[in-house]
């Protein structure tokens, strides 16, 4: 029991502490820096104990939506789902506003003048979020889980043998960007390489969760999963939505709310993906999945700046819960 007061004293500085821990600083160095900055009077043993306890708690029922009254939890999950669904589908061209997305999901309304496809995309994405929550207790993600997510977000697409829903792509796909004022087409992974590449991606992905002990590390893991996935582009369509869903699974497992890229940053987001894709080049069966590039850090900075939206939803729910207590 003697370590508890020090661990409690460290709680307000948890994110800063783990940023230092992630950077490779020793427990003694962290204690020295925090004592110098905040006059805490803690020892390196207290830092060690705090890190050990915090790591054990992560992913062990301490989820962002737990610990609330049932009505507050329900409201929080609806808010997160609406924001996540609106922003992710909007990035892909969906025209429903956030308010209209809420009306569709909560009231089942049809928005006059908006395409049926947009409504179906919203329902599909919300369903895919439920699948993500269902995966929280799974020891590992397998390709069939990715197929289920793809089937959910692409539920409005007609069956096509060349463009299958819920299976890897069977034809080449790519993206167009501009280099030196010239249009350039960049291909993603060849269909024949997808099975092997995604097997490697899943192996790396399933080792991520235990590494997340801070917001900075959560963002880093999200980016690694996201960049590798979209570089492969394993499906004929819907890759962005699936990437933004599955990359959040370890983030949520670690106790954080999902990282949501706001639709207002769509252009910045797409430019970063193109810059990375162009710099990394076409991915082959034996290629490094996520080679280093400056755009990775830029992507992390974008996410860290915009993550506050869903974090604020959780903070507001906690404040409401506190007033009832």
SS (H, E, C) 136-149: HHCCCCCHHHHHHH
Is residue 162 situated within a structural domain? yes
- Asked if residue 173 has pLDDT above 50, the reply is yes
Residue 311 pLDDT: 95
| CA angle in degrees (0–180, nearest 5) for 322-323-325 | 65
For the residues 88-94, what does the mean pLDDT come to? Answer: 97
What CA–CA distance (Å, rounded) separates 21 from 216? 11
Higher confidence at residue 118 or residue 29?
118
* 31 and 174 belong to one structural domain: no
Q: How many Cα neighbours within 13 Å face the side chain of 238? A: 29
* 284 and 247 belong to one structural domain: yes
* 41 and 117 belong to one structural domain: no
* 190 and 50 belong to one structural domain: no
What CA–CA distance (Å, rounded) separates 319 from 325? 10
Higher confidence at residue 148 or residue 20?
148
What CA–CA distance (Å, rounded) separates 7 from 9? 5
Higher confidence at residue 53 or residue 117?
117
Burial of 41 by CB count in 10 Å (0-12 exposed, 13-18 middle, 19+ buried)? exposed
Q: Which of 13-27, 128-142, 184-198 has the lowest mean pLDDT?
A: 13-27
3-state secondary structure (DSSP) of residue 183:
strand
Higher confidence at residue 129 or residue 21?
129
pLDDT tens string 203-230: 999 998 667 878 999 999 999 999 999 9
DSSP state of 256: P
Residues making up the chain, counted from first to last: 325
Under the banding of pLDDT at 50, 70 and 90, the label for residue 18 is: confident
Residue 245 pLDDT: 98
* 77 and 46 belong to one structural domain: no
Count: domains in the chain: 2
What percent of the chain stands above pLDDT 90?
A: 72
Residue 22 pLDDT: 66
For the residues 16-30, what does the mean pLDDT come to? Answer: 79
Residue 2 pLDDT: 36
Under the banding of pLDDT at 50, 70 and 90, the label for residue 54 is: low
What CA–CA distance (Å, rounded) separates 235 from 324? 47
Under the banding of pLDDT at 50, 70 and 90, the label for residue 252 is: very high
pLDDT tens string 290-322: 999 999 999 999 999 999 999 999 999 999 999
* 203 and 280 belong to one structural domain: yes
Q: Which of 53, 55, 16 is nearest to 34 (CA)?
A: 16
The two structure tokens encoding residue 129: 């979020």
- Asked if residue 57 has pLDDT above 70, the reply is no
Residue 325 pLDDT: 74
Higher confidence at residue 155 or residue 246?
246
What CA–CA distance (Å, rounded) separates 215 from 161? 42
Cβ–Cβ under 8 Å, residues 68 and 74: no
What CA–CA distance (Å, rounded) separates 97 from 99? 5
* 9 and 103 belong to one structural domain: no
At 175, phi and psi to the nearest 5? -140, 155
* 45 and 74 belong to one structural domain: no
Residue-averaged pLDDT of the chain: 90
Is residue 134 situated within a structural domain? yes
Under the banding of pLDDT at 50, 70 and 90, the label for residue 161 is: confident
- Asked if residue 44 has pLDDT above 90, the reply is no
Residue 273 pLDDT: 95
The whole domain housing 8 covers 4-57
Under the banding of pLDDT at 50, 70 and 90, the label for residue 177 is: confident
What CA–CA distance (Å, rounded) separates 9 from 31? 12
Place of tokens 């917001």: 215
Cβ–Cβ under 8 Å, residues 257 and 310: yes
Q: Which of 213, 211, 210 is nearest to 19 (CA)?
A: 213
Residue 157 pLDDT: 78
* 105 and 199 belong to one structural domain: yes
At 122, phi and psi to the nearest 5? -65, -45
* 30 and 53 belong to one structural domain: yes
* 44 and 85 belong to one structural domain: no
Under the banding of pLDDT at 50, 70 and 90, the label for residue 52 is: low
């Amino acid at each position: 029991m003697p370590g508890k007061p020090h661990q409690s004293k460290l709680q307000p500085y948890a994110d800063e502490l783990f940023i230092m821990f992630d950077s490779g600083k020793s427990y003694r160095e962290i204690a020295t820096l925090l004592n110098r900055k905040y006059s805490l009077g803690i020892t390196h043993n207290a830092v060690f104990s705090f890190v050990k306890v915090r790591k054990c708690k992560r992913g062990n029922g301490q989820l962002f939506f737990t610990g609330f009254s049932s009505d507050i939890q329900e409201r929080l999950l609806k808010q997160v789902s609406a924001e996540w669904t609106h922003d992710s589908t909007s990035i892909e061209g969906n025209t429903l506003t956030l308010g209209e997305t809420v009306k569709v999901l909560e009231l089942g309304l049809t928005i006059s003048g908006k395409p049926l496809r947009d409504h179906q995309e919203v329902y599909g994405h919300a369903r895919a979020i439920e699948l993500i929550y269902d995966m929280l207790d799974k020891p590992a993600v397998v390709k069939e889980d990715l197929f289920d997510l793809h089937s959910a977000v692409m539920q409005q697409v007609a069956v096509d043998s060349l463009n299958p829903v819920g299976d890897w792509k069977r034809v080449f796909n790519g993206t167009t960007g501009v280099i030196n004022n010239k249009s350039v087409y960049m291909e993603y992974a060849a269909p024949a390489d997808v099975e092997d590449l995604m097997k490697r991606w899943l192996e790396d992905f399933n080792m991520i969760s235990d590494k997340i002990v801070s917001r900075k590390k959560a963002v880093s893991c999200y980016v690694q999963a996201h960049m590798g996935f979209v570089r492969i582009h394993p499906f004929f369509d819907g890759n962005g939505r699936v990437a933004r869903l599955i990359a959040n699974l370890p983030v949520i497992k670690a106790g954080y709310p999902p990282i949501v890229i706001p639709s207002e940053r769509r252009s910045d987001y797409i430019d970063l993906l193109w810059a990375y894709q162009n710099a990394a080049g076409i991915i082959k069966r034996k290629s490094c999945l996520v080679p280093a590039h400056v755009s990775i850090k830029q992507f992390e900075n974008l996410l860290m700046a915009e993550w506050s939206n869903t974090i604020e939803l959780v903070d507001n729910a906690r404040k409401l819960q506190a007033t009832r207590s």
